[in-house]
């Protein structure tokens, strides 16, 4: 079995839980995911099955989320699972929110939550936090392509945001930092990943529906659908050479860079092209 699955991760499951479920169903060990989601979050989780795990690095890794922020309280984890550490009765207007959001657009420096899996000196940040130890956290540069208000319930102080961003962006940190920028505190109470690269939430299949090998096969997606690179169709002679990992020379104009080698509409290899010379990076036959 070889390909991708667009799985909708439910609340309460970790990304590793989803992989474990699919391993039990398919009896395949070689299964991986792209882009971890916290247990309280839900939404798109791309899954790679079989040799498709070797394609993770070639997938578009931009993300988009719908996140709900509760204003007036901040927590230790920046989300609903933490303990409340600050409160404020200050109310804010939609105009104030939209003005504040301008500071979160484009390239920004972001401090990851202390309760995160980022490692400092070989140890995860949340391990330091649980031990009550302070550790210096370095800011990370991330890109916020788009951030906008989807809905604002002023009475209940609930703010729903759409955020399109680069890999490694912490939506929890945005919720916390936005609350501080507004002078009213805030934390994330709901998070739905609506896009992961080319995987969209509208096409995602619920994990509970993938309850048999047949269901998994039925929903398996060809890697060619989501690999955003120029394709090169191999003839018989080229296919034979590539199958042995040998380089070939393009018979048509190609741009330099990563290319996808195809035979009969099936992925054969990922390769690098330079001045017409094609050298295989990963072969899948």
Closest CA to 283 of 268, 265, 261: 268
Instruction: Answer whether 64's CB lies under 8 Å from 43's CB.
Output: no
* pLDDT recorded at residue 281: 94
* pLDDT recorded at residue 165: 96
Q: Enumerate the active-site residues.
A: 38
Instruction: Answer whether 261's CB lies under 8 Å from 271's CB.
Output: yes
Q: Are residues 71 and 34 in the same domain?
A: no
In which region does residue 231 sit, left (phi positive, over 0), alpha (psi from -120 to 50) or beta (all else)? beta
The domain of 29 spans: 3-61+198-224
* pLDDT recorded at residue 77: 87
Q: Are residues 74 and 26 in the same domain?
A: no
Residues 6+ positions from 233 with CB-CB distance below 8 Å: 262, 263
Q: Are residues 190 and 209 in the same domain?
A: no
Q: Are residues 56 and 71 in the same domain?
A: no
Strands 42-49 and 186-196, by their bridges, are parallel
DSSP three-state, residue 161: strand
Stretches where the chain sits below pLDDT 70 are 114-137
Using CB atoms within 10 A of its CB, is residue 112 exposed (0-12), middle (13-18) or buried (19+)? buried
* pLDDT recorded at residue 128: 47
26 token code pair: 């398919």
Q: Are residues 70 and 162 in the same domain?
A: yes
Tokens 């301008």 found at: 102
Q: Are residues 257 and 172 in the same domain?
A: no
* pLDDT recorded at residue 38: 82
Q: Are residues 181 and 69 in the same domain?
A: yes
DSSP three-state, residue 14: coil
């Amino acid at each position: 079995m070889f390909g991708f699955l667009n799985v909708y991760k439910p609340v309460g499951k970790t990304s590793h839980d989803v992989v474990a479920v699919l391993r039990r169903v398919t009896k395949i060990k070689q299964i991986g995911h792209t882009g971890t989601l916290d247990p309280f979050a839900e939404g798109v989780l791309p899954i790679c099955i079989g040799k498709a795990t070797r394609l993770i690095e070639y997938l578009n890794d931009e993300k988009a989320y719908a996140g709900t922020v509760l204003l007036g309280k901040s927590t230790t984890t920046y989300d609903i699972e933490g303990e409340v550490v600050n409160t404020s009765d200050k109310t804010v207007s939609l105009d104030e929110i939209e003005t504040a959001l301008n500071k979160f657009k484009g390239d920004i420096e972001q401090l990851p939550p202390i309760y995160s899996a980022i490692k400092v000196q070989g140890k995860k940040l949340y391990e330091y936090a649980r031990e009550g130890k302070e550790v210096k956290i370095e800011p990370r540069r991330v890109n916020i392509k788009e951030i906008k208000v989807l809905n604002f319930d002023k009475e209940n102080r609930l703010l729903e945001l759409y955020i399109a961003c680069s890999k490694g962006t912490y939506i929890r940190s945005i919720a916390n930092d936005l609350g501080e920028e507004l002078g009213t505190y805030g934390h994330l109470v709901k998070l739905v990943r609506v896009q992961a690269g080319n995987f969209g939430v509208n096409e995602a299949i619920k994990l509970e529906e993938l309850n048999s090998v047949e269901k998994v096969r039925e929903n398996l997606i060809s890697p060619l659908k989501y690999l955003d690179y120029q394709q090169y169709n191999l003839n018989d002679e080229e296919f034979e050479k590539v199958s042995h990992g040998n380089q070939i020379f393009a018979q048509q104009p190609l741009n330099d860079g990563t290319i996808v080698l195809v035979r009969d509409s099936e992925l054969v290899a990922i390769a690098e092209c330079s001045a017409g010379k094609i050298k295989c990076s990963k072969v899948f036959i």
